[in-house]
Structure 1
Amino acid sequence: MTGQPAEPPEDPAELLGTGVPGPAPAAARVMRTEVLHYARRNGKLIGGLAVVLVFVLLGLLGPLFTGPNPLEYVGPPAQPPSAQYWLGTTTFGQDVFNQFVHGLRATFFVGTCAGLLAAVIGMAVGFTAGYRGGLVDEALNMLTNIVLVLPVLAVLLVIAAYLEVRNVAIQALIIGLFSWPWVARAVRAQTMSLRSREFVDLARLSGAPVRRIVFREIAPNMASYLFMVFILLFGGAVLFAATLDFIGLGPTDGISLGLMLNNAVKWSALQLGMWWWFVPPGLGITAIVGALYIMNVGLDEVFNPKLRET
């Protein structure tokens, strides 16, 4: 999940699929109608979204039927899947399905919070640097480059290792704080291109404040691109969290899909043939990240007229 969405068309009118420059109301209506039309016909977007929604619903509704404590000892140990225990039990008699649905909650929480945090920081830095230019741009660009060249996984390992108490909120915060540099660079480049357009010049001449120009004139013309960026950040956060969990630096309380894999390896589930312990969380992580990537490809085709299928 390290790829980036294709660069949006340089001309906002091209992104709207019309010949009308700028964020005119008529062009916005045409854009919404056209996007919805192509979105309903895009199999990649519909398929990826369906997979994500299934896991979201399972994570939200599953714990209502399995119990509040995923670490509770509920039955005989090392039981294979059955009508009573849908995904079997661990070597300690814990319900694997109960852990799985609670782990989905943690996975989506980390992905959402870390993705939003990284997106907000990246957009704030990118919009400010791209619109202001000059010394502000140089300073923010230097900060972005410093964070960009840091060995992120190594930094995350050090931070996580020195925290005595870790939960999914702290994990999301750590991941979000180190995932924004490429977003800032992409937003900065697009902002520098858009700030010289006529509709931005008109807003500037009308005396509109910088904040309004950025959020009312520039940002709407990048909305589709920013949405795809968030999807990539979401998937990247899920993978980072799973990596930290798997190597034992995840939350010290609760459960997650990565921690399920960590526990399965720690207690020799593979050697004991207990496939039901490690296969579901592994497939869950793969399916979620894969579906998000497919969604991103579909959205790219929907928003970019050059990639649309006839």
Structure 2
Amino acid sequence: MAAPRDLEPATVPQAGVATVGGPAVAVEPQAAAGAPVPAHRSEFVYFALRNWKFVLGLGVVLVFLAAALFGPMIASHAPLEFSGPTDQPPSSDYWFGTTSFGQDVFAQFVHGLRAAFLVGAVGGGIAWVLGAVVGFTAGYRGGAIDDVLNMLTNVVLVIPTLAILIIVSAYMNVHSYAVEAVLIGLTSWPWAARAVRAQTFTLKTRDFVDVARLSGRSTRQVIASEIAPNMSSYLLMMFILLFGGAILIGASLDFLGLGPSESVSLGLMMNNAFLSSALVLGSWWWFLPPGIGIIGVVGGLYVMNVGLDEVFNPRLRET
């Protein structure tokens, strides 16, 4: 999974404030085409709403998130309940049809979306925190600490993540998506740590960081108050990529049959459809919804990330 493109270390300022490698300076925000930004909107919101990629990606993700949150409330059957005739195509009684076991595909789909968002949030969040902590510490402290952390990062980076997860999941007999998400998070942080470390190396030589250091602030305070805020856009985009990557890895494990078997997920739906020869039998309503769900959520996140790249980087903004 590719890391986001290098951005300018300084964050995009809020309306009325500019922070280009130093103290905030009051400015009059201007749109890319020279028109003034409305006073009641921040500069970020203004440019984000004008970027069709960000709006499209966010809209797609929100649609699937709404389905995950509210879909189980309107589903008429439990996801693993034998609720009716087998291999029924979509109808008014079964919106997404039924499986070869008489299970409601719609109920499985909306519960599977919940599992996908859970794995993405927990797994991506853990990887984001680990990557940020290791990257900030290595980049700011340097010396022997940087050498040790960089060596650890490189070791984990060259290990085939999916292969390790397959072995661990098979021997641990994973029983919950929370455990699966933790395992994903513990193996997905190295590229994020390298990206944060590189940006921190650049920022720690700036004058405003030297002033903060000379004022007696601790390492944690300097990172939290001076370096991290100037990387906020980069950190946001990094989390989105980790979120989508965790969903893909989780779906891969579930498709291979290594996820929780007592519950339901999008990957497990595709695994069951494959084992039941749904494609050969023409039961497209069984395997198509989970595939669309995975592609829609992950694709929406990446399109949204591309839009954010253009929003945060003035050189990429569309006029």
Equivalences for residues 132-281 of structure 1 within 5 A: 132-281=141-290
CA contact 2:126–2:185 (8 Å) conserved in 1: yes
CA distance in 2, matches of 1:90, 1:71: 10
CA contact 2:153–2:190 (8 Å) conserved in 1: yes
- Note closer, same or farther for the CA distance 1:26–1:67 as it changes in structure 2 (3 Å cut): farther
Shift of 1:164: 2.6
CA distance in 2, matches of 1:19, 1:77: 62
Shift of 1:75: 0.6
Shift of 1:20: 4.8
The answer to whether 1:79 aligns with 2:79 is no
4+ residue runs over 6 A deviation: 29-32
CA contact 1:70–1:99 (8 Å) conserved in 2: yes
* Corresponding position of 2:114: 105
CA contact 2:112–2:265 (8 Å) conserved in 1: yes
Deviations 1:245-297 (A, max 9, x none): 11111112210000000000111111111100000101110111111110000
* Corresponding position of 1:9: 8
CA distance in 1, matches of 2:155, 2:143: 19
Deviations 1:190-237 (A, max 9, x none): 111111111111111111111110011000000001000010001111
CA contact 1:100–1:280 (8 Å) conserved in 2: yes
The answer to whether 1:24 aligns with 2:24 is yes
Comparing 125-134 and 161-170, the one that deviates more: 161-170
- Percent of paired sites with the same residue: 59
TM score, norm. by length of structure 1: 0.95
CA contact 1:114–1:237 (8 Å) conserved in 2: yes
Which 5+ residue runs of structure 2 have no aligned equivalent? 31-36
CA distance in 2, matches of 1:165, 1:225: 33
Match of 1:57 among 45, 66, 89: 66
CA contact 1:106–1:168 (8 Å) conserved in 2: yes
- Note closer, same or farther for the CA distance 1:287–1:162 as it changes in structure 2 (3 Å cut): same
CA distance in 2, matches of 1:253, 1:290: 28
CA contact 1:43–1:298 (8 Å) conserved in 2: yes
CA contact 2:174–2:258 (8 Å) conserved in 1: no
CA distance in 2, matches of 1:88, 1:243: 24
CA contact 2:174–2:180 (8 Å) conserved in 1: no
CA distance in 1, matches of 2:109, 2:185: 24
- Note closer, same or farther for the CA distance 1:212–1:95 as it changes in structure 2 (3 Å cut): same
TM score, norm. by length of structure 2: 0.92
